[in-house]
Chains A and B, each alone.
Chain A
Amino acid sequence: MCLAVPGQIIETREEAGIPMATISFDGIRKDICLAYLPDLGVGDYAIVHVGFAISKIDEASALETLEMFRELGVLDDELALDEASDP
């Protein structure tokens, strides 16, 4: 149910009244339906499931999350050092 992956919109258009887009997954180009995210435009990233864009990716949020993981890594290293140096 959940196989949905991020891609970047490289073209938008309308087909028979339905908003459509060409999305690129690292160079793989697929036609998908944009009806549920009609405000998205070229350059935006979206999560795509069975040929439909279902959610926009908040790029700032993605970077924040990764930064949080990196900080956790640093914190863990510090804690490990503390534990190791405790007699």
Chain B
Amino acid sequence: MPEADLSGWTCPLPLRDYDRIVIGHGGGGQLSSELVEHLFVPAFNGTDDVELHDAATFDVAAGRLAFSTDSYVVQPLFFPGGCIGDLAVNGTVNDVAMTGARPTTLSAGFILEEGLELGVLGRVVEAMAAAARAADVRIVTGDTKVVNAGQADGMYVNTAGIGVVPEGIDIRPSCARPGDAIILSGPIGAHGIAVMSSREGLEFGTDLESDSAPLHGLVAAMLDAFADVHVLRDATRGGVTASLCEISNTAHLGVEYEETSVPVPAAVAAACSFLGLDAMGIANEGRLVAMVPPEGVDQVMDAMHGHPQGRDACVIGRVVEEHPGLVVARTALGASRVVDLPLGEQLPRIC
């Protein structure tokens, strides 16, 4: 596993007694309190005063709440362009954002492996804090458990997040309509390939970095320009293929797209070539798929192109009435083929 760069990380007092997580850090006693008060709270709360108790309480604007949770078990913990920490923040921020809601508040639960270097935890927490600041969300509550050495692969993180859906916004798969344009916010595959490149047994050198990024700013810009966006989906596990197949299935409509319209960075294409993978099925952490009625496409595209996360947005296909539940790709040669949701994770192949 690639080593985290721990140079320059200073261990807050009085955690310095230990340089690794021990079972006691999850026990609810002094060690746990110290971890919370001297590592998590300063990172997530800055210098604000906070009263620690069983749950966080705060006011929300009246309205419909969007609520999402995700657990992060990525291996290795650190990979080109990011780590489990920023994934954990951006992933949940993005899930909430896909409803059109503005994410505001997160929780963070940690399951730590006994023996995990404190510096590794410190770096991850720092990354989460930085991602939260960049996304303008607050991590207000959390939990820590420690499990025996050999479990949790170093650490697992769970985040849950909420946001209020603006009045009049209704974005979900069954809102898709025949004729909707399918827009992809940018080039695909960088995250999955970057992570794979550091994975034991598969290591390869690349300049690719994870595209992990919060997307709610992009979504807000899109909705400002045109409120009647029908569907939004962040193309994470399973890539764009999974997004299209799931939406097509839920909406019971057909999806058609042109393979030549999908932007794939040369390095992603090359990695997929030598491993036998399909770029459309590779995970992204900063890309979304949108389905927009024809009358809104121009405004939405302009808004996306004007935003850092949407500069390379493009139309890749359309929603159709035909073949409901099936996604059909038009190949570069002009043939059509059905694209299926793979059974599980894509694996490198020889055949």
Contact = CB atoms under 8 A, between A and B. Distances in A.
In the complex, A touching B (Cβ < 8 A): yes
Contact of B206 (A3, A28, A48, A49): A28
A50 interface: yes
Contacts of B204: 28-30
A1 B350 contact: yes
B274 A25 contact: yes
Interface in B153-205: 197, 204-205
Contacts of A48: 274
B338 interface: no
Interface residues of A, number: 15
14 contacts: A2-B351, A3-B349, A5-B274, A22-B205, A25-B270, A26-B266, A27-B206, A27-B266, A28-B271, A29-B204, A29-B206, A48-B274, A49-B350, A50-B350
A29 B270 contact: no
B276 interface: yes
A3 B207 contact: no
Interface of B: 197, 204-207, 266-267, 269-271, 273-274, 276, 349-351
B246 to A, nearest CB: 28
Chain A CB within 10 Å, residue with most, of B204, B266, B269, B274: B274
Interface string A44-77: 0000111000000000000000000000000000
Contact of B273 (A2, A22, A25): A25
Describe A's contact surface by its main secondary structure. strand
Contact of A3 (B197, B205, B267, B276): B276
Interface in A18-47: 22, 25-30
A2 to B, nearest CB: 7
B267 A27 contact: yes
B58 to A, nearest CB: 46
A27 B207 contact: yes
Contacts of B270: 25-28
B351 A30 contact: no
A42 to B, nearest CB: 16
A30 B201 CA distance: 12
Contacts of A2: 351
A54 to B, nearest CB: 12
Contacts of A28: 197, 204-206, 267, 270-271, 274
A50 B348 CA distance: 10
A3 B273 CA distance: 8
Given A1-B350, A2-B351, A30 B274 contact: yes
Nearest to A22: B205
Chain A CB within 10 Å, residue with most, of B204, B349, B351: B204
B271 A25 contact: yes
A3 B350 contact: yes
Given A5-B274, A25-B273, A26-B266, 6 more contacts: A3-B276, A3-B350, A22-B205, A25-B271, A27-B267, A49-B350
Contacts of A3: 276, 349-351
A29 B204 CA distance: 6
